[in-house]
Structure 1
Amino acid sequence: MDITAVSVAPEASVRDVIAAIDASRRQIALIVDADSRLQGVVTDGDVRRGILRGVSLEAPATEIMNPKPHTATVLDEHDDMVALMKKFEIRHLPVLDVAGRLVDLFAGEDGRSHVVSTPVVLMAGGRGQRLYPLTKDVPKPMLPIGDVPLLEIILRNLAAQGFVNVYISVNYLAEVIEQHVGDGSALGLKVTYVHEDKPLGTAGALAQLHGVIGEPFVVMNSDLLTHVNLRRLLNFHLKQRAIGTVGVREHVFEIPYGVVNLDGARVESMVEKPLHRSLVNAGIYALDPSALALLPEDEYCDMPTLLGLIMQQGDTVSAFPIHEQWLDVGRPEDLNQARSDSEKWTNS
């Protein structure tokens, strides 16, 4: 492969690494110096762990880099490289020439996603009031991004990642969604509809799936555009042995004033227009089926409330950092941005 697509310089920032990972879709970036010497690697998992530790996206990539990755040489046989990858459970091997310079990145698989039975539930019952009057006759998930409805972009992405079983929760203008998507077979999916007789929030409709879904599953708002790998979310969820996992993103905002820090009436410090970083809910979740028993039937419940119920009974809710491209299409300005970048979403 063209290793320039996944290579960044040693002085690169974590943000630069994320851009390389997202652009190449290889879940890895190679830190390479001017002499083509491999300094280390940063994987998708390294980025997520760094975010959880509080590492800034502007920090040097070397702060989250693995400086001693497994490598192969141009003299190694294909089967030996595959065996090495299986032994250490890695997806890629940097390949060095006889002088120790980076020349290739070996991937033992062909890049295609194998089919998984894990269910995905898309919450598509909302009225999209912030986008009115665009949503007067068209439900928000069916608003076009380029020539493709938002919901169809999400469904295509699920199919590309190997998911087959999809549940769509519908309420407002449900018939528009059902007429367009049908049973999902045109997209290689099996779609089942969950009907809300009244608005039930971002989690309430899941009560209807208690006893229907018997394995860990993904829940996602249907107004999201993202390139996040949901299989990685599931793997993370299982490794954490969590009952609930929430996808989180870093949100940075600037206070437009000088901030004065006090100790009583004494000024300790003054900071001009400081930046604050927080992890915010990205609207993507993984749940154990046992969580469904906590939901009251046919009652309004949002997802933060459900996650709170899980924690109240002493079970684990984990956070999965999302660094991939992500856009919540909830406001007119977000919709305009999605449409101006439509090729990025519809051609992925």
Structure 2
Amino acid sequence: MTVILLAGGLGSRMYPLTRIVPKPMVPLAGKPILEHIVDYLNTRGFKEIVIAARYLGEQIVRYFSNHPHAKPVLLDSKDTADAVRLLGNYIRDHFIVAMGDVICNADYSEIYGYHLSANPAATIALKQVENPLPYGVVYLDENMDVALFVEKPVSLEAYLLSLAYYRRRSTSAYENLVNAGIYVFNPYVLEVLERNPGLMDFGRHVFPYLVENGFKVKGYVLSHRVYWSDIGRIDTYKSVMWDLLDGKIAGIKPPATEVSPGVYIHPSSDVRGEIRPPVYIGREVRVKEGAVVGPYAVLEDGVVVEEGSRMVESIVWHGTIVGRDSVIYDSIVMNNVKISRETRVYSSIIGTRRIVSGELRNSIMEPVEVVSPYAQSA
């Protein structure tokens, strides 16, 4: 069956990282977020993947152009459902739609089988969360049919009142269910989209339309053991990175040798400094004597860490040079940055091709130019 990965969003909450790269292509310990998702699906038997690209989509098309099981398509789509509408020629049967920025190790085959057995118009994977406020909430009836959608409005007060009202009406044993961004559709939903060109977004338009017009929409509640995270903000980007290094995402690992528990080092790298797990070190990285890397540190391909430097709780993208006796703490350093010797960087984000010296705290330095971290390998 076909899996469509939606990878066209602007990623505005991830700025300035997404100034130079689409959010699904943000580096996540050796691979773009999107490649981790594609590889996970491939290992689970899904070999027909279509990637819907839009914002900075040329980078996605270039990166996946020779992939044997993922076809990138550059679209001029207006939103999520519109992207699927434009990809109708790739769909022949029941199909899966998933987000290109959500890391989830669910059993997609099980969700697909559940959908086929019930044969609804659509099935939505749902996740129970402690705090549903950042999301739209879904309510199920006793048959696991979707009964109500409560999309988060502009007014928080109105949203909370809606939650209280619908919670009293709900007949399901589940509470705080949010849309996990994994859907299975009956192919006739494409006809619904064609007949209703105003249905642009799945959460705001398509699912409410289907429910209100009598189409059956099933809910599939993910097990509490399933890892799920929507990488929509800088803080969630960091937390998923650290979970990956900690081995908390079964089925998804960094693409390097685990030389000791929590220490992933590519064999092409030259590491002579001290490593404190968990750490990921990519291809052709040099960590010189007297440097200390970790705990919780990621060095992407081609990074150089000079003598005496220290990195803790930080992510450094491709081709960056960290000068000797420098400190980087709780920060993200984007690609091709030059950190001068004896520089201190705390809780900051440094953009592409910057030259940094002195001390930087709680700051954001914009990228000098739009250069993908994968430009050299492309």
TM-score tier by shorter-chain length is 0.5 to 0.7
Provide the TM-score with structure 2 as the length reference: 0.51
* 1:180 match: secondary structure: helix
The structure showing larger relative contact order (alpha-carbon pairs under 8 Å, at least 6 residues apart) is 1
Name the Cα RMSD after superposition: 2.2
Give the CA deviation at 1:312: 3.5
1:301 matched residue in structure 2: 200
Does residue 156 (structure 1) correspond to residue 35 (structure 2)? The answer is no
In structure 2, C-alpha distance between the alignment counterparts of 1:298 and 1:167, rounded to whole Å: 22
Q: Which runs of 5+ in 1 are unaligned?
A: 1-117, 256-275
In structure 2, C-alpha distance between the alignment counterparts of 1:197 and 1:153, rounded to whole Å: 25
Relative distance call for 1:175 and 1:283 in structure 2 (3 A) is: same
2:75 is matched with which residue: 196, 199, 208? 196
2:9 matched residue in structure 1: 126
2:180 matched residue in structure 1: 282
Q: Are 1:219 and 1:285, in contact at CA under 8 Å, matched by a contact in 2?
A: yes
1:330 matched residue in structure 2: 232
* 1:135 match: secondary structure: helix
Relative distance call for 1:176 and 1:299 in structure 2 (3 A) is: farther
1:267-297 Cα shifts (integer Å, max 9, x gaps): xxxxxxxxx9411111110001110112248
Q: Are 2:104 and 2:228, in contact at CA under 8 Å, matched by a contact in 1?
A: yes
1:223-270 Cα shifts (integer Å, max 9, x gaps): 111110100000011111111011101122399xxxxxxxxxxxxxxx
1:45-83 Cα shifts (integer Å, max 9, x gaps): xxxxxxxxxxxxxxxxxxxxxxxxxxxxxxxxxxxxxxx
Q: Are 2:52 and 2:72, in contact at CA under 8 Å, matched by a contact in 1?
A: yes
Does residue 347 (structure 1) correspond to residue 246 (structure 2)? The answer is no
Relative distance call for 1:197 and 1:239 in structure 2 (3 A) is: same
Q: Are 1:171 and 1:197, in contact at CA under 8 Å, matched by a contact in 2?
A: yes
Counterpart of 1:347, as a letter, is K
Counterpart of 1:220, as a letter, is A
* 1:231 match: secondary structure: helix
Q: Are 1:251 and 1:279, in contact at CA under 8 Å, matched by a contact in 2?
A: yes
2:125 is matched with which residue: 242, 247, 251? 247
Q: Are 2:124 and 2:180, in contact at CA under 8 Å, matched by a contact in 1?
A: yes
Relative distance call for 1:315 and 1:254 in structure 2 (3 A) is: closer
Q: Which runs of 5+ in 2 are unaligned?
A: 134-173, 255-378
1:186-213 Cα shifts (integer Å, max 9, x gaps): xxx1x23333225x22211111233541
2:91 is matched with which residue: 184, 193, 213? 213
Q: Are 1:210 and 1:289, in contact at CA under 8 Å, matched by a contact in 2?
A: no
Large movers: runs of 4+ above 3 Å: 296-300, 343-346
* 2:106 match: secondary structure: coil
Q: Are 2:106 and 2:222, in contact at CA under 8 Å, matched by a contact in 1?
A: yes
Give the CA deviation at 1:176: 0.8
1:147 matched residue in structure 2: 30
Relative distance call for 1:253 and 1:192 in structure 2 (3 A) is: closer
Q: Tell me the number of residue pairs that the alignment of Structure 1 and Structure 2 aligns.
A: 206
* 1:252 match: secondary structure: coil
Q: Percent identity?
A: 29
In structure 2, C-alpha distance between the alignment counterparts of 1:315 and 1:194, rounded to whole Å: 30
Q: Are 1:246 and 1:282, in contact at CA under 8 Å, matched by a contact in 2?
A: yes
Q: Are 2:2 and 2:50, in contact at CA under 8 Å, matched by a contact in 1?
A: yes
1:232 is matched with which residue: 77, 91, 110? 110
Provide the TM-score with structure 1 as the length reference: 0.56
